[in-house]
Amino acid sequence: MDARLNQFETKMTKAIDYLGSDYEGIRAGRANPHVLDKIRVDYYGSPTPIQQVGNITVPEARMLQIAPWEKSLIKAIEKAIMASDLGITPSNDGSVIRLVFPELTEERRKMLAKDVKKKGEEAKVAIRNIRRDGNDFLKKLGKTDVSEDEIKDMEDQLQKATDKFIKEVDKMIENKTKEIMTV
């Protein structure tokens, strides 16, 4: 790929990475510590990620256990989990918090699969917008001393990169949907 197009390929890679991290937060019937990534706990007045105030373990396939570094944080962690869109009620025994993930119903699986597809489509739109920006860049480049053939070659390279990333998004959607729909 032409060096002048690397910035656009880098942006497309970031779109894929973002989608991947987004998908990690979608639970598929088993406990995954990444579902807590976006939850912040009020730690001495500043919002802090749960991972920084306690140890998160997966003792069973459908359970997360959070052992806070300080016992006084139990209430704050429970409050943060309740305020999130996780949809799970935490329980504590005075020293650790447990999150038990219920089995996903067929209806919930279909909703999650729909959400996965929507996020995938958003990533495709982002990639296509990056391609559009790249094509605009090439039009401006065409007004300088770059030949039409070079511009045409770079447009083809940009399109091939776009196609490659769109295929990758499709594969990610398919894999995550399969993971969610597997009972």
- State the residue range of the domain holding 126: 3-24+105-181
CATH number, domain containing residue 143: 1.10.132.20
Contact 111, 181 (CB under 8 A): no
Last residue of a domain, one of 59, 83, 100: 100
Write down the pTM of the prediction.
0.71
Residue 17 and residue 64 in one domain: no
Last residue of a domain, one of 100, 115, 139: 100
Number of domains the chain contains = 2
Average pLDDT over residues 123-127: 95
CATH number, domain containing residue 70: 3.30.1360.40
How confident is the model over 28-76, as pLDDT tens digits? 667 778 888 888 998 888 888 888 899 999 888 888 899 998 888 888 8
Residue 96 and residue 163 in one domain: no
Contact 73, 43 (CB under 8 A): yes
Residue 117 and residue 153 in one domain: yes
Residue 174 and residue 113 in one domain: yes
Residue 117 and residue 155 in one domain: yes
Smallest CA-to-CA distance from 87 within 135, 36, 42 is with: 36
